[in-house]
Amino acid sequence: MKKNLITTAMLFALPTIAFAGENTKNELAPIVVYSAYATPVNQDQTASSVTVLTEKDFAERNATYVSDVLKTVPSLAVSTSGGRGTLTNVFLRGADANHTAVIIDGVKANPVSGYGFDFGGLALSNIERIEVLRGEQSALWGSDAMGGVIYITTKKGLEKGKTFNVDYDFGTGSHRTVDGSLTLSGSNNNFYYALHGDSHHTKGISALSKDRFNYTAQDGTAVSTGGASERDKFHRDNTSLRFGYDDNQKGFDFLTSHSSQTANFDNSATDEKGHYTRTRDTLFKLSGFLGNGDELLKHKVGVSHIKTDSDTVGYASAYDAKKLNANYQLDVNFDREGSITQGLSFLTDYQKTDFNSSYFNNAGNKKLIEKSVAAEYRLLHDADHSLNVSGRYTDSSEYENSWTGRIAGAYRLHNNVKAHASIGSAIQNPTITEYYGYNARYIGNPNLQPEKSVGGDVGFLFETDDHRHSVDITYFTRNVKNAISSEVINSVTYASRAVNLDGKSKVKGLEVAYNGKITDVLTAYANYTYTQTRDSKGIELARRPKHLANTGLAYQITEKLGADVNLSYTGKRMDTYYSPSYSTHKVKLPSYTLANVGVNYKVAESLTVYANLNNVFNKKYENVLGYGQEGRNVYVGLRGSF
């Protein structure tokens, strides 16, 4: 408890310390946001709550995997069922794990199954930047965007401005972890290319907890977890090729990638051995554009195909999935000069998905075709005022057709204060297994309706004249109807099915986020999120902490030596214990605070050595009830480019 109070005190004290620091001369460079609108927009002009993370942030927050850096973002709770490589989902602004759209290089990467994107094996080695866009976003991104969007951009060869460049990153750490990454890239005469490969291997920890934990459920039942012993290893290989042409007037981009990962898991405390899932993903994407934002018209077209093969050993389960997407966008920039610019975008999208599982009740290929049209109007003012109106109509072959919309606006009240607000609607279609069933224990429900939400936010951004310090305070709320849950339909076999709940599930909360460049060699961030969640019966939603807080400092001690420290606090959250007799018991998991430190030294222009010590105080905790987490661990590596 004392440690948690210290963390909270630091979070609230840090902005005060930062603003008291010396303001130095130069303004920070503008940041472009790609996820919030149909076209790229300066972050100062957006009305949306969005966090932008770059490679510099990845390093300063001791991050090796995407999930490492996502857990430092406001309103984002990470749920991890074990060590590295195990199922890792996110809950954004209290939304379900499958309510966040994950876009990688313009392609929606959410699994065909309809479940949430698994970040467990996704490394940062080939990622240039990540945007986390919060709030209802179905008007622009369709289903899966009720909580928001995580927009990931990989490297493509233009970053260095060289004909040939080599980037490398090799590391090793606790639990016999070995990672390696190599990228060959370059650009010349507007052509670019990037060939990338990475491999990650760890002996890992037990997916189920090794340490013993004792809880008392809300109904008074004594609950005990832990005692597992076998390590659950993880191995992932990934390769990608990207090339294209971009002269700011016309261009194309081709991307292909293939990944293969094997993640071991425990079936139960008495059945630990011989269980693993092997997943292979193959992506092809081709896109092109004609025109630019300074002209009246800009055309964009794209086509992508994702193929997933997954096999689980230990019990008979396998599936094959395919997703084909084709899209076209027309930008009409009818007002391009002066202090006010205006534009319209028209989007059309066709998506066909196929899913075939050996574990279905009614085996066979399941298909879903979705066709949608969308439009967006935007007005941007040089003084950072903005207005955005967007809407989408989706025609679904299986689910209910839907309309979604969004209105967002921002107004700079003062040179140091900007108000922003948004309201929107969103949908979430049922998952494949909810709709069709899975096995004799989980029965399909073809009468399921899509989940529908209406939500919004309002906030104020306070910043210094040079933009070196900012504090954003945002209140958000969401009401969800037709929320999908499950019910037991046979008390003997415990067979269950998915159902739409009556009434509305409600989420509301507050985000406070500070970012600062205290001096030219000292930067800081801090954020706090309060989230209250209730289903239609007034019961708290699982795995959504009421309180989340993060803070960090990065200090460039000398020209070559740098150091950073990061603290994260996760508050109490509800989870469910399933007994051997299939009875369920609600358990409130305790809060925990983690501390990480890192140091880096630039040996030469092309070589930096770094070391990270994570979970410094060796905190024993369960992020998800029953599942283990790493104690104190170390990671050392070297990276660079030439």
Of the chain, the percentage scoring pLDDT greater than 70 comes to: 94
Is there a contact between 98 and 144 (Cβ–Cβ < 8 Å)? yes
CA 36/CA 132 separation, integer angstroms: 10
Which residues in 210-296 belong to E strands, given as ranges?
Answer: 213-216, 222-225, 234-246, 250-264, 276-290
Question: Stretch 160-184: mean pLDDT, rounded?
Answer: 92
pLDDT of the residue at 25 = 45
Is there a contact between 265 and 275 (Cβ–Cβ < 8 Å)? yes
What pLDDT digit, counting tens, does each position of 88-132 carry? 999 999 999 999 999 999 999 998 887 889 998 899 989 999 999
Q: Select the more confidently predicted residue: 38 or 440.
A: 38
Is there a contact between 130 and 103 (Cβ–Cβ < 8 Å)? no
Is there a contact between 404 and 457 (Cβ–Cβ < 8 Å)? no
CA 642/CA 640 separation, integer angstroms: 7
pTM of this prediction? 0.93
Q: What mean pLDDT is reported for the chain? A: 90
Q: Angle at CA 234, nearest 5°, toward 229 and 237?
A: 170
Structure tokens at 360: 């279905």
Is there a contact between 36 and 133 (Cβ–Cβ < 8 Å)? yes
CA 526/CA 21 separation, integer angstroms: 16
| Confidence tier at 589 by pLDDT (50, 70, 90) | very high
Q: Select the more confidently predicted residue: 621 or 270.
A: 621
Q: Select the more confidently predicted residue: 335 or 490.
A: 335
Is there a contact between 454 and 136 (Cβ–Cβ < 8 Å)? yes
Is there a contact between 428 and 96 (Cβ–Cβ < 8 Å)? yes
Radius of gyration of the CA atoms of the chain, in A: 24
pLDDT of the residue at 15 = 44
pLDDT of the residue at 117 = 92
CA 536/CA 345 separation, integer angstroms: 37
Q: Residue 272 contacts by C-beta under 8 Å, 6 or more apart in sequence? A: 206, 208, 228, 229, 230, 266
pLDDT of the residue at 426 = 96
What pLDDT digit, counting tens, does each position of 288-342 carry? 999 998 899 999 999 999 999 988 887 767 888 999 999 999 999 999 888 999 9
| Confidence tier at 367 by pLDDT (50, 70, 90) | confident
Structure tokens at 417: 């204060």
CA 472/CA 75 separation, integer angstroms: 13
Q: Which residue has tokens 């989408």?
A: 392
Q: Which of 84-88, 154-158, 428-432, 489-493 is predicted least confidently?
A: 489-493
Structure tokens at 630: 């790493």
Is 399's pLDDT higher than 90? no
Is there a contact between 380 and 341 (Cβ–Cβ < 8 Å)? yes
Output the CA–CA distances (angstroms, integers) from residue 47 to 236, 360, 414, 450, in the order listed.
38, 44, 16, 28
Of the chain, the percentage scoring pLDDT greater than 90 comes to: 72
CA 43/CA 58 separation, integer angstroms: 20
Output the CA–CA distances (angstroms, integers) from residue 351 to 187, 194, 204, in the order listed.
33, 28, 38
Does residue 434 sit in helix, strand or coil? helix
CA 512/CA 457 separation, integer angstroms: 13
What pLDDT digit, counting tens, does each position of 210-239 carry? 999 999 999 999 999 998 888 999 999 999
Is there a contact between 395 and 371 (Cβ–Cβ < 8 Å)? yes
Is 19's pLDDT higher than 80? no
Find, among 620, 627, 634, the residue nearest to 592 by Cα. 620
Q: Which residue has tokens 């079936």?
A: 267
Residue 6's H or E segment, with its range, is: helix 2-20
User: Counting beta carbons within 10 angstroms of the beta carbon of residue 583, is it exposed (0 to 12), middle (13 to 18) or buried (19 or more)?
Assistant: exposed
pLDDT of the residue at 365 = 78
Q: How many residues does the chain have?
A: 642
Q: What is the dihedral angle through the alpha carbons of 130, 133, 515, 421, rounded to the nearest 10 degrees?
A: 160
Residue 513's H or E segment, with its range, is: strand 504-519
pLDDT of the residue at 218 = 92
CA 512/CA 74 separation, integer angstroms: 8
Structure tokens at 601: 């030294």
Pairing of strands 177-188, 191-202: antiparallel
CA 142/CA 402 separation, integer angstroms: 10
pLDDT of the residue at 27 = 59
CA 105/CA 122 separation, integer angstroms: 14
Is 574's pLDDT higher than 60? yes
CA 374/CA 394 separation, integer angstroms: 9
Does residue 140 sit in helix, strand or coil? helix
Is 149's pLDDT higher than 60? yes
Q: Which residue has tokens 């070391």?
A: 611
Is 436's pLDDT higher than 90? no
Is 159's pLDDT higher than 90? no
